[in-house]
Each structure stands twice: as C-alpha cells, then as structure tokens.
Amino acid sequence: MNPLDELKRLYGEGGALENPARYKWEVLYAETRALVSFENHQKIMGFYKQWTETRNPHYLDWIQLILIQCNATPSPMLCNIFAEGAALRLSGGVAGTPEKIIKDSAKAYAFRVMMNLIYAGSTLESASIKAAFQVQAIFKTVKPYKASGLEKAYVKEIRASGLEAEHFEAWDQSTALREDEGSIAFWNDAKESWPECDDDLTGFRR
C-alpha cells in the first residue's frame, strides 16, 4: 500500500475533517516526498510550515520555484495550497517580504545541518563551521552567517528550548523518522568529508 492510500485508510473521511491541518500536512509530506529529492523535500515542508504560521504567500512562491527547478508537477494537495495563496493575494492580505523568507530559510537550514551532524557525532563547533560553509554555498543572496553566531543561536534556539533533545529521542526510537532526515551513512560521511568555512566566517568564540 502506498503512503497516500495508507493515510486515507488511517484517517478516513471523518478523520480528515476532524483534524484537517494534520491531514493536509501528512498528505503533502507523502506527495512531495515522491516528487523531489530529500533536500528539496525538506525545503518544501519548511516553506509550507512557515506559510501556515505566517500566511505569507511568498513562501508558496519558493515552493513553486523548487518545483520548476526540479521539473516537477505540483501534487493535488499543493495545487489546493497554491489556490489558498492566490486567494489571499487577491484579497489584499499579503504579509511579509521575500527577503526575510530567504534569510529565515538559510538559518533554519543551518540548524538542520548542525542537528544532523551533532547526532552523527560532530562537536557543536565543528557542526557550526560546516553549516556556515553550506549556507554560504547554497544561499548566495544572503549575508553569510558566521559559525560562531550559528553556534550561539543553535544553543539558544534549538538546544536550550529542548528541540534538539526532542528530535534525538524521536530519531533513536524511529528508524523511519531518522531516514526522513537522510541516512545515517550520509551524515556520517558528511561529518568527515564536508568542507569547513574559511577563517573569515569562523567568527569569535569566548
């Protein structure tokens, strides 16, 4: 049974109506996982999460751009979501700017990289240095983050908040959740082989 059929079986008509937001998330997750690569899938789900929290349709523009770059056709759920965004624009309810989206996405991506590298055995310092390099390479229009700044922000926003421990516990308990972030072998290799940022992006650590 494919993931979409399994979701429909688990939720049924009534279940989807009782918790439409959760149902929409899980259907979108299953549909887009089959459309694009792991990395692009994570970006799409991140942009969708931001859309649900901010109602800023610029996040949907970035999802469409990813699909175009991947030569992928929007899934049925994505078509419905894009229609929601179009309706918001027509009503004049647009909020936020595309520049902020890019900056926030770069930071979120850095945190995800760091969390996975740390789970694979990297130190916080090493993970931040590798993440700074990745952000600079991928998000070329964003002012580069210094590794020291990423390290401090990660401790405050991810570790101190309990998000790191929550993710690690979930990954320990579920191979499927762990594999959604990429294979253990992938991150073990990244820990050893991914380049580090130049000295000018290392920053100052106390």
Q: Kindly report, residue by residue over 103-121, the tens digit of the pLDDT.
A: 877 888 899 899 999 999 9
Q: Residue 9 has what pLDDT?
A: 55
Question: What average pLDDT does this structure show over 92-96?
Answer: 62
Convert the pLDDT of each residue in 53-69 to its tens digit: 888 888 888 899 889 88
Q: Residue 1 has what pLDDT?
A: 43
Of residues 163, 179, 78, the one with CA closest to residue 115: 163
pTM, two decimals, is 0.60
Whether 204 has a pLDDT exceeding 80, the answer reads no
Of residues 45, 58, 48, the one with CA closest to residue 86: 58
State how far the Cα of 108 lies from the Cα of 90, in Å rounded to an integer: 29
Convert the pLDDT of each residue in 131-158 to its tens digit: 999 988 888 888 889 999 999 999 999 9
Which of 37-40's residues contact partners 24+ apart within 8 Å by CB, and which partners? 37/70, 38/182, 40/66, 40/69, 40/70
Of residues 138, 163, 132, the one with CA closest to residue 40: 138
Could you give the percent of the chain with pLDDT greater than 70? 85
State how far the Cα of 76 lies from the Cα of 111, in Å rounded to an integer: 30
The larger pLDDT score, comparing residue 18 to residue 194, is at 194
Convert the pLDDT of each residue in 11-32 to its tens digit: 555 445 566 788 888 888 888 8
Whether 5 has a pLDDT exceeding 70, the answer reads no
Q: Residue 203 has what pLDDT?
A: 62
Whether 77 has a pLDDT exceeding 60, the answer reads yes
Contact 142, 199 (CB under 8 A): no
Q: Residue 10 has what pLDDT?
A: 52
Question: What average pLDDT does this structure show over 35-41?
Answer: 83
The answer to which of 5-14, 22-31, 176-185 has the lowest mean pLDDT is 5-14
Q: Residue 94 has what pLDDT?
A: 59
Report CA 78 to chain centroid distance, whole Å: 16
